[in-house]
C-alpha cells in the first residue's frame, strides 16, 4: 500500500512539474478538453433543467391518471391528428361521470371538471381578469393538488347541492382583497355571488406559464353548470373532462384502461366495428414526446463536444510524446536503479489522466458559473450525475491519450535511454 501511495505522489510530482515548465503549451493543449467538457456538460445541464422545468409546469395534469376527453393530447401512431373526425365526438357528460363512478372498479379516484379562462372575478370596486374558473366535483382534490393555506375545501354535501362556495388562489386574493382576508367574503362571477371558504397556497409562476393554482377559482361542478352549458352536444360553451386515478398495484394502468374503454363503449352504444368516439389521454404521452426531443438535443451536444474532446485528446497525446522524449534520460536512470515497467507506465499514464482531469475540471467550473446566471423561471442546476459524467469522460480521454506514450516509455531499454 505504501509503495502505491509513493508511486501516486511521484507521478503527481512529475505531472505538476511538467505543467509548470510548459504552462502555455499545456494550457493550449488542455483547451480542447475544457471546451469539449463545457459543451457536453453545458448542453446536458441546460437540457436537464429545461426538461425538469417543463415537467414541473405540466405537473398540474397529475400522475397515474387517465383523462376522458373529446380531443386526444397527441398524434396517433402514424403521426396524424385527424381533427375533422374528433370535432364530431360528444363531450364527456356528468351522467357518464356518475356511471363510471358507480361501475368502474379498478380506480382509486374519479372526478369531472370544466374550466373557463375568461372569467372576471369582482369584489366591490376590485376586479381580477386573469382568473381561471374551475368547476370540479368533490373528488377534484383527489386528482389534482389543491393545497389549502387558509379555510377549507368545499364538502361533498355542498358539491352535491351546487352551493355557491369558492376556493381561490393567492393571486386572486391579493387582487380582490389587498388589505384583508378573503374568508367569508362574497365575490361575483358572471353575475353569481360566491362565498370564499378557502385560499390555496401560493405556487409561483411556472416555466411554461401553464395553469397555476394562484389564478384558479375552484367551485363545485354543479354550481359551474348554473353558469355554463356542459352537456354532450358538439356546440356547448364548455367541454368537460373526466379524470380517473388508478390503483397502485395496476402497473401502467393497463387494467383500468381496458375496463374504462369497455364501459365507455357500452355506455355510448358503440358496436364492435365502430371506432372509439372518445380519447383516453395520459400525461405520460406528453412527457414521452418531450423526452424524445431532449434526447435529440443531447446527442447534438455529444457530437459538438466530441470534436473538441477529440482535438484535446490529440493535444494531450502530443504533450505526452514530448514529455517522454524530454525525460528519456530520467527513465533510463530509473530503470537502471530497479524501477519496474509498470512504475514507468503508471507514472506517464497518471500524468496524462491528471492533465485531462484538470482540463475537464476547468470545463465543469465554467458550467457551474453558467448555472449561477439568472434566467427567470428557468433554474439551471449542475447535477452530481453530470459532474460524474464530466469527470468520467475526462479520465477516459486522459487514459486513451496517454496509453501509447506511457507504453513506449515503459518498454525503453535502460542503457539506450541513458545514452539518448
Question: Given 3-state DSSP classes, what are the helix, strand and coil percentages for the chain, each rounded to the nearest 5?
Answer: 55, 15, 30
Q: Do residues 263 and 104 make contact, with C-beta atoms less than 8 angstroms apart?
A: yes
β pairing state of 216-220 and 126-136 = parallel
Q: Do residues 260 and 244 make contact, with C-beta atoms less than 8 angstroms apart?
A: yes
Q: Which of 72-81, 117-126, 270-279 has the lowest average pLDDT? A: 72-81
Question: What one-character-per-residue DSSP string does 255-306 give?
Answer: HHHHHHHHHHHHHTT--TTSPPSSEEE-HHHHHHHHHHHHHHHHHHHHHHHH
| CA pair distance 78, 97, nearest whole angstrom | 31
User: What is the mean pLDDT of the segment spanning 64-85?
Assistant: 75
Average pLDDT, the chain: 81
Question: What one-character-per-residue DSSP string does 321-348 give?
Answer: HHHHHHTHHHHHHHHHTT--HHHHHHHH
Q: What is the pLDDT of residue 125?
A: 87
Q: Which of 82-96, 137-151, 331-345, 364-378 has the lowest average pLDDT? A: 331-345
Q: What is the pLDDT of residue 352?
A: 82
Residue 195: pLDDT above 70?
Answer: yes
Q: What is the pLDDT of residue 408?
A: 83
| CA pair distance 173, 176, nearest whole angstrom | 5
The confidence band for 234, taking pLDDT boundaries of 50, 70 and 90, is very low
Distances (CA, A) of 152 to 37, 145, 160, 221, 251: 52, 14, 17, 17, 33
User: What is the mean pLDDT of the segment spanning 16-24?
Assistant: 70
User: What is the mean pLDDT of the segment spanning 9-33?
Assistant: 71
Containing 61, the helix (H) or strand (E) segment is: none
User: What is the mean pLDDT of the segment spanning 194-220?
Assistant: 81
Q: Which of 2-6, 132-136, 269-273 has the lowest average pLDDT? A: 2-6
- The dihedrals phi and psi of 109, each to the nearest 5 degrees, come to -160, 150
Residue 196: pLDDT above 90?
Answer: yes
| CA pair distance 185, 314, nearest whole angstrom | 73
Highest-scoring range by mean pLDDT, 6-15, 93-102, 233-242, 287-296: 93-102
User: What is the mean pLDDT of the segment spanning 310-319?
Assistant: 79
User: What is the mean pLDDT of the segment spanning 119-143?
Assistant: 89
Q: What is the pLDDT of residue 219?
A: 94
Q: Do residues 324 and 348 make contact, with C-beta atoms less than 8 angstroms apart?
A: yes
User: What is the mean pLDDT of the segment spanning 268-284?
Assistant: 84
| CA pair distance 139, 98, nearest whole angstrom | 12
Question: Which stretches of 124-202 are assigned E, i.e. beta strand?
Answer: 126-136, 148-151, 165-168, 186-189, 192-200
Residue 233: pLDDT above 70?
Answer: no
User: What is the mean pLDDT of the segment spanning 127-152?
Assistant: 89
Please calculate the CA angle 229-70-278 and round it to the nearest 5 degrees: 125
| CA pair distance 197, 61, nearest whole angstrom | 24
Of residues 380 and 221, more confidently modeled: 221
| CA pair distance 351, 7, nearest whole angstrom | 12
Indicate the Cα dihedral angle 257, 259, 262, 265, nearest 10°.
Answer: -60
Domains in the chain: boundaries:
2-57+288-419, 65-281
DSSP state of 78: T
The confidence band for 60, taking pLDDT boundaries of 50, 70 and 90, is low
Residue 212, C-alpha cell as written in the block: 397555476
Q: What is the pLDDT of residue 27?
A: 75
Residue 119, C-alpha cell as written in the block: 372569467
Distances (CA, A) of 295 to 48, 307, 404: 10, 19, 34
Of residues 313 and 391, more confidently modeled: 391
The confidence band for 377, taking pLDDT boundaries of 50, 70 and 90, is low
Counts for the chain of helices (H) and strands (E), in that order: 14, 10
Amino acid at each position: 500500500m505504501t509503495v502505491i501511495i509513493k508511486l501516486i505522489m511521484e507521478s503527481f510530482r512529475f505531472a505538476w512539474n511538467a505543467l509548470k515548465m510548459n504552462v502555455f503549451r499545456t494550457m493550449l493543449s488542455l483547451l480542447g478538453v475544457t471546451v469539449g467538457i463545457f459543451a457536453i456538460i453545458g448542453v446536458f445541464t441546460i437540457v436537464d433543467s429545461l426538461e425538469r422545468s417543463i415537467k414541473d409546469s405540466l405537473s398540474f395534469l397529475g400522475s397515474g391518471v387517465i383523462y376522458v376527453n373529446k380531443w386526444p393530447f397527441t398524434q396517433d401512431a402514424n403521426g396524424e391528428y385527424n381533427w375533422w373526425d374528433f370535432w364530431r365526438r360528444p363531450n364527456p357528460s356528468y351522467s357518464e361521470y356518475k356511471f363510471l363512478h358507480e361501475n368502474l372498479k379498478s380506480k382509486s379516484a374519479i372526478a369531472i371538471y370544466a374550466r373557463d379562462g375568461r372569467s372576471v372575478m369582482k369584489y366591490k370596486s376590485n376586479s381580477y381578469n386573469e382568473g381561471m374558473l374551475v368547476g370540479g366535483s368533490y373528488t377534484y382534490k383527489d386528482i389534482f393538488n389543491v393545497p389549502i393555506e387558509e379555510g377549507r375545501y368545499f364538502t361533498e354535501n355542498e358539491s352535491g347541492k351546487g352551493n355557491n362556495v369558492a376556493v381561490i388562489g393567492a393571486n386572486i386574493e391579493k387582487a380582490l382583497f389587498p388589505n384583508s382576508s378573503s374568508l367569508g367574503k362574497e365575490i361575483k362571477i358572471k353575475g353569481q355571488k360566491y362565498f370564499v371558504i378557502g385560499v390555496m397556497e401560493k405556487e409561483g409562476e411556472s416555466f411554461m406559464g401553464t395553469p397555476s393554482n394562484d389564478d384558479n377559482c375552484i367551485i363545485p361542478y354543479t354550481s359551474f353548470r348554473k353558469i355554463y352549458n356542459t352537456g354532450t352536444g358538439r356546440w356547448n360553451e364548455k367541454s368537460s373532462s373526466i379524470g380517473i386515478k388508478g390503483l397502485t398495484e395496476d402497473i401502467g394502468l393497463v387494467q383500468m384502461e381496458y375496463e374504462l374503454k369497455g364501459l365507455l363503449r357500452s355506455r355510448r352504444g358503440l358496436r364492435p366495428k365502430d371506432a372509439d368516439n372518445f380519447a383516453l389521454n395520459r400525461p405520460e404521452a406528453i412527457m414521452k414526446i418531450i423526452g424524445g426531443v431532449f434526447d435529440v438535443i443531447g446527442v447534438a451536444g455529444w457530437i459538438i463536444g466530441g470534436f473538441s474532446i477529440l482535438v484535446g485528446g490529440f493535444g494531450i497525446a502530443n504533450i505526452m510524446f514530448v514529455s517522454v522524449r524530454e525525460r528519456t534520460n530520467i527513465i533510463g536512470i530509473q530503470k537502471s536503479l530497479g524501477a519496474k515497467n509498470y512504475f514507468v507506465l503508471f507514472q506517464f499514464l497518471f500524468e496524462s489522466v491528471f492533465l485531462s482531469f484538470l482540463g475537464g475540471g476547468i470545463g465543469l467550473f465554467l458550467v457551474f458559473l453558467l448555472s449561477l446566471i439568472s434566467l427567470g423561471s428557468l433554474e439551471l442546476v449542475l447535477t452530481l450525475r453530470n459532474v460524474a459524467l464530466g469527470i468520467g469522460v475526462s479520465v477516459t480521454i486522459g487514459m486513451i491519450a496517454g496509453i501509447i506514450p506511457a507504453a513506449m516509455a515503459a518498454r525503453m531499454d535502460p542503457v539506450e535511454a541513458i545514452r539518448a
